[in-house]
Structure 1
Amino acid sequence: MTIRIATVAIATLGVLVADVAWPGTRSDSEFLNQGTIGNTRHNLSQRQTAGGGPTGSQMDAVRNNYQQVCVYCHTPHAANQNISAPLWNRTVRSTTYTLYNQQSLSQEATQPGPNSLTCLSCHDGQTAVDSIVNMPGSGKYNAALALNPDTSTTKALLDAWSTTDDAFDHFGLKDNNTECLSCHSPGGQGGAQDFSAFAIGTDLRNDHPVGVKLPSGSDWNVPSGTYKNVRFFDTDGDSRPDKEELRFYDSGQGYEVECASCHDPHGVPGATASFLPTFLRVTADGSQICLTCHVK
């Protein structure tokens, strides 16, 4: 399965696999949610060491700690060619998702495009959070992890990545209180933060629809900017899709809503020093994110 899209994708990469600086020592951040992706939950190498949460030994038992922030999604070399996403390093699965389907939609939704599939590669729960193609270190590239390896094969390949504290298992963000959610759910072990809302699964009917085309008519605002495969709300007039601007992506079927239309995985600063919750591009306060597109 090869999914093609123009070069503009989720967000500017910035630093790829070099360590990103954040307060404290490596893997010790307290999830400050400000300044850099290294202080967010998308830094899969860190673990909380103050104020509760899992200890390093608990986390390292169920995911490889690659000791780099960006490598869980991106690689400067040997990127996964099965998806047109920027230097993508994660396993990609061929999946048919159950789509949002309401009479209010003017047209049927299509299967998620690359700017949703990148997010779903963790959030649909099918893939271990540490399942990457090119692991740090010489000779750690393994093409067998690129597309649809079965669970036993994935585990064997990930186990081959050797560090002092190898994981003995490789957990995913499943939505049934197992694996990651065995701790990160209400009543889970160790008092970890509840992540159950972020375990989306493959049934997308109860989420904002993706794969729906940019609508027209008086009920919708019209994006003012176009850049390559992106239509976007150019709020600052610089003719480029900035991370705090909502957008629609054309994956070959016209401009559509995707996960990255509303979310930036690297974090977007709000009015304060902290990033907006759940990696939103526009604050939900006063329904501002909704009213960017919807006229109500």
Structure 2
Amino acid sequence: MKRVLSLVAALAVSTVATAAFAAGSSTIAGTKHNLSLGSTASYKVGAGGTGQICIFCHTPHNAAQNVPLWNRTANGTAAGGFTLYSSVTMVNSKHATGFTTDSISLFCMSCHDGSALGGTTMIKNQPADGTSTDVSLGGTGASEGIASGRAANLGTDLRSSHPINFRVLQSGTSNGLGDVTGNILKTSTVSGGFPLFASGGQDKYLECGSCHAVHDNTNIPFLRTTNDGSKLCLGCHVK
């Protein structure tokens, strides 16, 4: 009887876990971050040679980087090849001339700088059901990247973009930003707050992933909360 109960409990846990995974998978499946063969998004010019969705960024084994099981072998542009936003009012702008090499934002920019998205030079572990060499997001030719005319191509000059790869100091010394608790930055406007990341051997850096949830496009474009009434902005900035 104990074995039967244990088996039933294990199956229940497995069912819940499977359902949770399926829910997460279906969330990204209908977004522009689905680069697979099965994607029917109108923005795609070419189709990936694999039916897998996650393989373009993640791999379960032998990852290029262990966080988050990263499957892209290189960034399209080296860390020092970017120019970041900076201003005289920023507390910390020492990385304005480029990313730190361990910046999580480089993961995003490996696609959004306009460089190639697929192929053996960018994908470490190729999928068993095909290759990812023919992915195109509006670009043409060998680069197979994001076309320069598309908003998703941010390029390498990010001086007109929101600050990223900068350290957020504790409240009271961070120029009108919210409270920092652990690695979460928030104001009273939002309930959950926004994550900060490790970079340059230190913690509490604001990166692309602080404002964007790459697997969930409920709040377009992949925002962590709605920006109605500037809620996203006011979730970090005290105004």
Question: TM-score, normalized by length of structure 1?
Answer: 0.58
Equivalent residue, structure 2, for 1:206: 160
Write out per-residue CA displacement over residues 47-93 of structure 1, whole angstroms, 9 at most, x where no aligned residue.
427xxx368xx513xxx321111111111111103xx5211111223
Confirm or deny that 1:37 pairs with 2:21. no
Kept in 1, the 8 Å contact 2:214–2:222? The answer is: yes
Deviation at 1:255, TM superposition (A): 1.3
Equivalent residue, structure 1, for 2:5: none
Relative to 1, partners in 2 of residues 1:54 and 1:107: Cα closer, same or farther, differing over 3 Å? closer
Residue identity matched to 2:103: P
Deviation at 1:126, TM superposition (A): 2.4
- C-alpha distance in 2, partners of 1:197/1:42? 14
Deviation at 1:203, TM superposition (A): 1.2
**Pairs within 5 Å for 1:114-193:** 114-130=103-119, 131-137=122-128, 163=130, 171=136, 179-180=144-145, 185=149
Write out per-residue CA displacement over residues 244-295 of structure 1, whole angstroms, 9 at most, x where no aligned residue.
6412112223411100011111006xxxxxx110111011111111111111
What secondary structure does 2:196 align onto?
A: strand
- C-alpha distance in 2, partners of 1:36/1:168? 24
Equivalent residue, structure 2, for 1:231: 184
RMSD: 3.4
- C-alpha distance in 2, partners of 1:124/1:173? 14
Deviation at 1:35, TM superposition (A): 5.2
Number of residue pairs matched by the alignment: 202
Confirm or deny that 1:85 pairs with 2:67. yes
Confirm or deny that 1:282 pairs with 2:225. yes
Kept in 2, the 8 Å contact 1:91–1:132? The answer is: yes
Relative to 1, partners in 2 of residues 1:36 and 1:254: Cα closer, same or farther, differing over 3 Å? closer
- C-alpha distance in 1, partners of 2:210/2:144? 29
Moved over 6 A (4+): none
- C-alpha distance in 2, partners of 1:173/1:266? 21
What secondary structure does 1:289 align onto?
A: helix
- C-alpha distance in 1, partners of 2:180/2:105? 20
- C-alpha distance in 2, partners of 1:282/1:102? 26
Aligned to 2:49, which of 65, 71, 90?
Answer: 65
Structure with larger Rg: 2
- C-alpha distance in 2, partners of 1:213/1:92? 24
Write out per-residue CA displacement over residues 202-229 of structure 1, whole angstroms, 9 at most, x where no aligned residue.
11111111111114427221033x2xxx
Kept in 1, the 8 Å contact 2:114–2:146? The answer is: no
Confirm or deny that 1:220 pairs with 2:177. yes
Kept in 1, the 8 Å contact 2:85–2:159? The answer is: yes
- C-alpha distance in 1, partners of 2:184/2:43? 41
Identity of aligned residues (%): 35
Residue identity matched to 2:64: N
**Pairs within 5 Å for 1:234-273:** 245-251=193-199, 252-267=201-216
What secondary structure does 2:180 align onto?
A: coil
- C-alpha distance in 2, partners of 1:59/1:42? 14
Gaps of 5+ in 2: 1-16
Question: TM-score, normalized by length of structure 2?
Answer: 0.70
Kept in 2, the 8 Å contact 1:122–1:129? The answer is: no
- C-alpha distance in 2, partners of 1:234/1:73? 32
- C-alpha distance in 2, partners of 1:76/1:171? 24
- C-alpha distance in 1, partners of 2:23/2:186? 31
- C-alpha distance in 1, partners of 2:127/2:31? 21
Relative to 1, partners in 2 of residues 1:92 and 1:263: Cα closer, same or farther, differing over 3 Å? same
Equivalent residue, structure 2, for 1:75: 59
